[in-house]
Amino acid sequence: MRRAPAASRALPIRRTLSGGRAWLALLCSVLALGFMTPAWADQTDRRLDGLFERLRVTSSEAEAEAAQQQIWQIWIESDDMSANRLMQEGIQAMVTGQHALALERFDRLVERAPAFAEGWNKRATVYYLMENYEASVLDIERTLELEPRHFGALSGLGMIYDAIGEPAAALRSFEAAVAINPHLDGARQRIEALRRELAGSPT
């Protein structure tokens, strides 16, 4: 078993402002959009290249939001109907606060489809909500091995490092996320705050 980075081990917890609520809001939108129509997709879908390029270059917030939603829709779908059912059931359990049930579904999902990046990312989200940061970091690492452009996983990693009092690592993670998706307003705000904190200025 891989060991988590030292920063993810037992350290004092400092919660990030509204971080968990932001993830849950995103999950609700994914649940609403992602399973409306069948789509055979995952992180290997060729449509993603064009969507990421659009996300990188657009100055339109509406276009950026549309691109992000399409990316998430593609990420949460696979060519395995049973895996898709586990994904849907896990998300439903997570957004209703049934973390143990969600974890059980995502455990089954990553066992059934270990090459499906979003299965690992969703389990990382559950671990984050359960404050099991070490396990969350391990699953984020696996997500990024499968989909290096996963700005959601990078943002989540930043939130974890922020929560455990590792501002330099949090800053690197948020900056990596924004390099892929410049439209992550919350991450941008946190980057500015962390830069001030690391420079020794409270304002």
The CATH number of the domain holding residue 161 is: 1.25.40.10
Q: Provide the number of structural domains found in the chain.
A: 1
Predicted TM-score of the model (pTM): 0.81
Q: Is the dihedral of CA 175, 181, 187, 191 positive or negative?
A: positive
Q: Is residue 85 part of a domain?
A: yes
CB atoms within 10 A of CB 100: 10
Asked whether the beta carbons of 82 and 112 are under 8 A apart, the reply is yes
Q: Is residue 33 part of a domain?
A: no
Which tokens hold the place of 120?
């690992």
Distance CA(94)–CA(3), nearest Å, equals 26
- The parent domain of residue 61 ranges over 42-198
Q: Is residue 34 part of a domain?
A: no
Q: What is the pLDDT of residues 69-109, one digit of tens each?
A: 999 999 998 889 999 999 999 999 999 999 999 999 999 99
Distance CA(75)–CA(41), nearest Å, equals 7
Distance CA(2)–CA(14), nearest Å, equals 25
List alpha helices for the chain, DSSP H: 19-34, 47-57, 61-75, 81-95, 99-112, 117-129, 133-146, 151-163, 167-180, 185-198
CB atoms within 10 A of CB 29: 14
At 202 the pLDDT is 57
- Average of per-residue pLDDT values in the chain: 84
Q: Is residue 3 part of a domain?
A: no
Q: Is residue 36 part of a domain?
A: no
Q: Is residue 37 part of a domain?
A: no
Q: What is the pLDDT of residues 98-157, one digit of tens each?
A: 999 999 999 999 999 999 999 999 999 999 999 999 999 999 999 999 999 999 999 999
Please say if the pLDDT value at position 19 is more than 90.
Answer: no
Q: Is residue 61 part of a domain?
A: yes
Cα separation values, 12 from 95, 125, 160, Å: 26, 20, 12
Across residues 162-173, what is the average pLDDT?
96
Distance CA(155)–CA(165), nearest Å, equals 15
List alpha helices for 10-98, DSSP H: 19-34, 47-57, 61-75, 81-95
Q: Is residue 115 part of a domain?
A: yes
